[in-house]
Amino acid sequence: MMKLDYTTIKTPAYLYNLDVLRQTLKVLKTEAEHYAYHIHYALKANNNEKILEEIADAGLGADCVSGNEIKEALKRGFRAEAIAFAGVGKTDEEINFALDQGIFSFNCESLPEIEVINELASKKNTKASIALRINPNVDANTHKYITTGIEENKFGINLWEIDSILDRMDNMKNVELNGLHFHIGSQITDLDTFKNLCNRINQIQEKFYARQIIVNHINVGGGLGIEYYDPDNELIPDFKSYFKIFHDFLELRPKQQLHFELGRSIVGQMGSLLSKVIYVKKGSVKDFLIIDAAMTDLIRPALYQAYHKIENLSSQSTQAVKYDVVGPVCESSDIFAKSLALPSSKRGDYILIRSVGAYGQVMASNYNMRDAAQVVFIE
């Protein structure tokens, strides 16, 4: 994957490949510009400052889920007018801060939230630009922890609530309904799922149209998945086919803008986690490769049973051996892979865990008082 003398790097280390990031941004921009689509980068996927600066430089907007993410986005060069603010639990302090910045949109998830935004905006004698985050009840067919668009989830406004919320909003002078927002989940690899979303949005738009409401923008959230099994085969996600689905199936009204909030597909493949084998431990059924990275550095396998490709960079062996690849943390779930066939490995070998640029470093903890993995940029 990369020509790099990894033996000089203190492990565990997140390696961020800036060439991959830049190429991804280039393709993303070209494909989005083709349809004049607007892209907001979801900071939650990776908030490393250099990565944010690269993405802001490329001209993308930002999708934030906390006041601190908004502050960071502004600091790294994202424009306030291109910041969307999502989340089911925005606090008064966060709302006030976002109001002062004049952000693009508060993506609102409940009536009580809209009421508070209206009240706080009124105190400031201003008008908040809002979008209703609607739960379209479309199944994303992904892991249950990252499915958000079905009714049992905490996210969004349910379809049956829309009318009563719009009735209430008629009396609110300090919120302006500018958009409709949808986000059904993450790591979606079956593009038909987005087709279902488009069809549902078309129906929902009819409902608003019947009340003579045409919003300025539709925001379809993020969710485009990446290739975890064979990353080198698709380092850059297929943005072309993804956008074409929306172009072909979403019925935008004249002058209505389409916005996206992509995280994983922008930064996922540019990151790898470099680690070293501390011990090879004999087990009764198979051996354990105990490496110096742990669930504290990358929690996805432990939390979602997520698959990440793992490579041994040092072994020259042609003999394949099955290992459980585990970290040193005192939790049985601190496992990166079970029964994984790798070339025969030994203490000191370098192990590379692929596709960790999104939801890797940002979800790290210092459980067991472990040090944070360092970050190394590759160009």
Residue 184 or 290 having the CB closest to ligand LLP? 184
Q: Which two structure tokens, joined as six digits, stand for 105?
A: 């949109």
List of residues 6+ apart from 214 with CB closer than 8 A = 208, 253, 256
Ordered DSSP codes for 61-110: EEEESSHHHHHHHHHTT--GGGEEE--TT--HHHHHHHHHHT-SEEEE-S
Q: Does 82 bind ligand LLP (CB under 6 A)?
A: no
Q: Does 186 bind ligand LLP (CB under 6 A)?
A: yes
Q: Does 179 bind ligand LLP (CB under 6 A)?
A: no
Confirm if 64 and 52 have CB atoms less than 8 A apart: no
- What is the number of alpha carbons within 13 Å of residue 347 lying toward its C-beta? 5
With contacts defined by CB under 6 A, name the span among 25-33, 168-176, 179-187, 238-246 that binds ligand LLP: 179-187
With contacts defined by CB under 6 A, name the span among 52-60, 167-175, 180-188, 206-214 that binds ligand LLP: 180-188
Please, which of residues 251-310 interact with ligand LLP by CB under 6 A? 261-265, 300, 304
Q: Does 149 bind ligand LLP (CB under 6 A)?
A: no
Confirm if 129 and 103 have CB atoms less than 8 A apart: yes
Please, which of residues 318-377 interact with ligand LLP by CB under 6 A? 358-359
Number of residues that bind ligand LLP (CB under 6 A): 21
Euclidean distance between CA atoms 105 and 128, whole angstroms? 8
Q: Does 42 bind ligand LLP (CB under 6 A)?
A: yes
> Which residue number places its CB atom closest to ligand LLP?
222
Q: Does 187 bind ligand LLP (CB under 6 A)?
A: yes
With contacts defined by CB under 6 A, name the span among 25-33, 73-81, 217-225, 273-281 that binds ligand LLP: 217-225
Beta bridge partners of 343: 320
* Pairing verdict, β 335-343 and 320-326: antiparallel
Q: Does 63 bind ligand LLP (CB under 6 A)?
A: yes
Beta bridge partners of 295: none
Q: Which residues of this protein are in contact with ligand LLP, per CB under 6 A? A: 42, 45, 63, 86, 146, 183, 186-187, 221-224, 261-265, 300, 304, 358-359
